[in-house]
C-alpha cells in the first residue's frame, strides 16, 4: 500500500515547499492538498520536482452537484481545477456532491450523475480523474447528501467514464456503514484513491477500532494499486505520527 500525506492534516501552518521537503525526508513519495489558492504554482512545482514527491490529488473549487441550478458553477470549477492540476502534475481531483437539498433523493441522484457526465469531457481532455466522496453525517458532515458507498459506486457506473471514480474514505464509511473490506475489494473498478483515519476520534490509524494492517493487506491482495491518504488529526507530533504510520503500515 502506498501511503500519502494530506499536507493540511499535518503541516497546515508550514509553507507548501517546506512541507513537501519534510514529507520527502520522512520517506514519503506522495502528498495531497485541498485548496490551492495560497500556492505559488511555479514555486510549488519546483518543490515537487526537487523533492521527488508526487502531488496525487487536490479538491475541486465547487461541490454543488445535488442542485441542478449549480451545475454550471461545478463544470466551470472543473475547468479551472484541471488547469491548476496541470501546473502541479496532479491527476486526481476530489469533489464532494453537496448538501441534501430536501428534494426527492432520486432527483438529487440524477442531478449528480448528470453533472458528472457534463464534466467528463473536460476531464478526459485534461487526462484528470474526478473522485466523488461519500462522507458520514453522524459525526462530521450533517446534512451532506452522499453517505452510502453503494450509491457512490452506482453513480460512477451510471456515469460510465474512466475519469469519474470514488475516493473511498475508510473512516467515513466505518462511521456510516462498516463492512469495509468487502465494500472496497468488490468495487475496485470504481475506486481511484483511499483515505484513512482511526475511529472514533479521527486520529492515528493505530488508535481506532479498525485493524488497518488487515484492511490494507486485503486490499492489496485484491489488486488495488493506488494510494491511501492518511487523513487524520494527529495526536502525536506530526512528524512522529508520520514516522510511526510508515513503520506500522508502510510495509504492507
C-alpha span between 99 and 112 (Å, rounded): 11
Mean per-residue pLDDT of the chain: 97
How does pLDDT run across 136-186, given as a tens digit for each residue?
Answer: 999 999 999 999 999 999 999 999 999 999 999 999 999 999 999 999 999
| pTM across the whole model | 0.97
| CATH numbers and ranges of domains, the chain | 2-249 (3.20.20.150)
C-alpha span between 15 and 13 (Å, rounded): 7
Examine the pLDDT at 210 and tell me if it is beyond 60.
yes
**The residue count for the chain:** 252
pLDDT of residue 237: 98
Residue 227's contacts (CB-CB under 8 Å, 6 or more residues apart) are 1, 2, 3, 4, 30, 56, 193, 194
pLDDT of residue 252: 52
How does pLDDT run across 8-61, given as a tens digit for each residue?
Answer: 999 999 999 999 999 999 999 999 999 988 899 999 999 999 999 999 999 999
Amino acid at each position: 500500500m502506498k501511503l500519502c500525506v494530506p499536507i493540511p492534516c499535518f503541516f497546515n501552518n508550514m509553507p507548501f515547499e517546506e512541507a513537501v521537503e519534510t514529507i520527502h525526508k520522512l520517506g514519503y513519495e506522495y502528498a495531497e492538498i485541498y485548496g490551492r489558492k495560497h500556492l505559488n504554482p511555479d514555486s510549488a512545482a519546483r518543490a515537487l520536482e526537487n523533492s521527488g514527491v508526487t502531488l496525487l490529488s487536490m479538491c475541486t473549487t465547487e461541490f454543488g452537484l445535488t442542485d441542478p441550478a449549480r451545475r454550471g458553477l461545478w463544470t466551470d470549477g472543473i475547468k479551472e481545477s484541471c488547469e491548476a492540476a496541470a501546473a502541479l502534475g496532479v491527476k486526481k481531483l476530489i469533489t464532494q456532491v453537496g448538501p441534501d437539498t430536501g428534494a426527492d433523493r432520486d432527483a438529487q441522484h440524477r442531478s449528480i450523475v448528470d453533472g458528472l457526465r457534463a464534466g467528463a469531457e473536460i476531464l478526459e481532455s485534461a487526462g484528470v480523474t474526478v473522485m466523488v466522496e461519500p462522507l458520514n453525517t453522524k459525526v462530521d458532515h450533517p446534512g451532506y447528501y452522499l453517505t452510502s458507498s453503494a450509491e457512490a459506486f452506482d453513480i460512477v457506473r451510471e456515469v460510465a467514464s474512466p475519469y469519474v471514480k470514488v475516493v473511498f474514505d475508510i473512516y467515513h464509511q466505518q462511521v456510516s456503514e462498516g463492512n469495509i473490506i468487502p465494500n472496497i475489494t468488490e468495487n475496485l473498478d470504481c475506486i481511484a484513491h483511499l483515505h484513512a483515519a482511526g475511529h472514533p476520534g479521527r486520529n492515528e490509524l493505530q488508535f481506532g477500532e479498525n485493524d488497518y494492517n488487515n484492511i490494507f493487506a486485503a486490499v492489496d491482495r485484491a489488486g488495488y494499486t493506488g494510494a491511501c491518504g492518511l487523513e487524520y488529526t494527529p495526536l502525536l507530533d506530526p512528524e512522529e505520527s508520520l514516522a510511526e504510520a510508515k513503520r506500522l503500515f508502510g510495509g504492507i
